[in-house]
Amino acid sequence: MLSRAPGGPETLALAELPDPVAGPGELLVAVKACAINYPDVLIIEDKYQFRPERPFAPGCEIAGIVEAVGEGVTGWSPGDRMISTLPHGGLAEKAVVPAAGAQPLPEGRSFAEGAALILTYATTIHALVDRGGIKAGETLLVLGAAGGVGLAAVELGKAYGARVVAAVSSEAKAEAARAAGADATMIYAAGPFGRDEAKALAAQFKDAVGPDGADLIYDPVGGDYAEPALRSIAWEGRYLVIGFPAGIPKLPLNLTLLKSCDVRGVFWGAFAARDPKANAAHVRTLFRLWEEGRIAPRVSRTWPLAQGAQAIAHMAARQAIGKLVVTMDD
């Protein structure tokens, strides 16, 4: 599913390319499932942090079967089930990934589940633990709590002993957040907001988190929701910046002074590249929590590869609950 020119999902087209070849240190993978994430919306519009040379296939999170191993690779054999992230190229029948970043897919787990695990949960565990310093008993406010990263934040927040307040845009999404373990939910209106609506939303956040405020705020939404959420933060709270599907906000810095709080950016891809050992430790923790049933990727909908553009359009519409996955024909 190739992007040949900048634009929305309608610019993507299915095409045939020569099969890739595993180079030194790489695995050639028969892709069985590719999860869709918000970066896929941005990268085809040339709005992501990097711009691959065209043509390219979007898709940065896959599960599949190893077809061949490159020179110097140990621990992998053809036929092994695996999961991995990659910069792009997942919406294809075959992909090449670095062996060092691949993980075995446990028996009994589907390819769709496996494709939906790493990016959202690894981003979130890095956010909550490394950037947020989460502690048991703290209050965690999660915006966009029914999306892929949002549900991951709900589950991991509970795993680390926090009281989790899930903020969502509909009752169906609130139900999903409660099923993931949220202690409380609130439903906010759709933006953009004028001054009075923003003030009302801030009051709604404050009521939801309680009089002491939110020790941690996990924001994968941005836009007009950011400042009202920040106004509900606790003294010395930590506001985690994850993403901006609602737009890049501008925050009044006097709020950080009044609450002696921190606004902290979260860029998991750069963290994983700079500190692969720490990231690997987080991934091991995620696999343990997955095995224990304390986290579980929720795949709400799948599409075949020929309809991969529709999956990205669904993500762009911000209506997804949990993860969206494209599956490949055998």
Structure-block tokens of residue 47: 């709005």
Non-local CB neighbours of 76 within 8 Å, separated by 6+ positions: 27, 66, 69, 82, 99, 102
pLDDT, one tens digit per residue, over 108-153 is: 999 999 999 999 999 999 999 999 999 999 999 999 999 999 999 9
Would you say residue 307 lies in a domain? yes
Provide the pLDDT for residue 46.
Answer: 94
Cα–Cα distance, 237 to 227 (Å, whole number): 14
Cα–Cα distance, 240 to 216 (Å, whole number): 7
Cα–Cα distance, 25 to 207 (Å, whole number): 53
Would you say residue 180 lies in a domain? yes
- Count of CA atoms in the C-beta half-sphere (13 A) of 220: 27
Q: What CATH number is attached to the domain comprising 68?
A: 3.90.180.10
Question: Does one domain contain both 135 and 252?
Answer: yes
Would you say residue 277 lies in a domain? no
Provide the pLDDT for residue 3.
Answer: 97
Identify which of 130, 101, 208, 197 has the alpha carbon closest to the alpha carbon of residue 164.
Answer: 208
Would you say residue 105 lies in a domain? yes
Question: Does one domain contain both 138 and 232?
Answer: yes
Provide the pLDDT for residue 114.
Answer: 96
Kindly report the pTM of this predicted structure. 0.93
Question: Does one domain contain both 218 and 163?
Answer: yes
Question: Does one domain contain both 171 and 237?
Answer: yes
Q: Whose structure tokens read 């409380």?
A: 184
pLDDT, one tens digit per residue, over 301-320 is: 999 999 999 999 999 988 78
Angle between helices 148-159 and 171-179 (to 10 degrees): 40
Would you say residue 82 lies in a domain? yes
Cβ atoms of 128 and 318 closer than 8 Å: no
Would you say residue 178 lies in a domain? yes
Question: Does one domain contain both 142 and 229?
Answer: yes
Would you say residue 287 lies in a domain? no
Residue numbers in the chain where pLDDT is lower than 50: none
Q: What CATH number is attached to the domain comprising 203?
A: 3.40.50.720
Provide the pLDDT for residue 83.
Answer: 97
Which domain range does residue 20 map to? 2-117+297-327
Torsion angle, alpha carbons of 130, 238, 200, 197, to 10: -70
Question: Does one domain contain both 39 and 176?
Answer: no
Would you say residue 290 lies in a domain? no
The amino acid present at 283, given as its one-letter code, is V
Question: Does one domain contain both 48 and 83?
Answer: yes
Identify which of 264, 69, 74, 237 has the alpha carbon closest to the alpha carbon of residue 165.
Answer: 237
SS3 annotation, 277-327 = HHHHHHHHHHHHHHHCCCCCCCEEEEEEHHHHHHHHHHHHCCCCCEEEEEE
Question: Does one domain contain both 152 and 193?
Answer: yes
Which helix (H) or strand (E) segment is 116 a member of? none
Provide the pLDDT for residue 50.
Answer: 85
Residue 301 bridge partners (DSSP): 324
Question: Does one domain contain both 142 and 217?
Answer: yes
Main-chain phi, psi angles of 273, to 5 degrees = -75, -35
Structure-block tokens of residue 23: 């180079």
Cα–Cα distance, 121 to 102 (Å, whole number): 15
Question: Does one domain contain both 98 and 186?
Answer: no
Provide the pLDDT for residue 177.
Answer: 97
Residue 81 bridge partners (DSSP): 65
Question: Does one domain contain both 163 and 230?
Answer: yes
Structural Rg of the chain based on CA atoms: 20
Q: Structural domain tally of the chain?
A: 2
Question: Does one domain contain both 168 and 75?
Answer: no
